[in-house]
Amino acid sequence: MDLKRHEDLNRGEDIISKLPDDILIHILSLLETKDAVKTCILSTRWRNLWTLSYNLSFNVFETKDFVNFVDNVLSCCQSKDIQNFRLDCSDIEDSELFHVSSWICFAVDSSQFYN
């Protein structure tokens, strides 16, 4: 480890936030969506980075108020190329199934693969 980086770590500096946005977005894209969204509280720079994530993963068992969460995330999503869209909604209420169709349409419309 070079001396400068070692000094930064000893001072408690945030070296992750020094990374370019593209790298941070890639890192956020590796996280579960609910965890990527949580990073918005870190600082003003991080506030909207999660909205550029190109991998979206939703699990009904891991998220309270699942339908509203997915709806809100997709309404904030700014990624122009969704590469992965994982949706586990096996335990969703029958009355909320109509949401699933709109979520899938969003994923297809936001994917460069189909456009």
Mind giving me the DSSP string for 8-49?
HHHTT--SGGGS-HHHHHHHHHTS-HHHHHHGGGS-TTTTTG
Q: What is d(CA 51, CA 21) in angstroms, rounded to the nearest whole number?
A: 12
- 2 versus 86: the higher-pLDDT residue is 86
Scanning the structure block, which residue is given the tokens 């998220």? 63
Model pLDDT for residues 53-94, shown as the tens digit of each residue? 999 999 988 777 899 999 999 999 998 888 999 999 888 888
Q: Please tell me the least confidently modeled range out of 38-47, 74-83, 106-115.
A: 106-115
**Extents of the domains making up the chain:** 3-109
- 32 versus 6: the higher-pLDDT residue is 32
Q: What is d(CA 76, CA 6) in angstroms, rounded to the nearest whole number?
A: 38
Q: What is d(CA 65, CA 7) in angstroms, rounded to the nearest whole number?
A: 44
Scanning the structure block, which residue is given the tokens 């699990």? 59
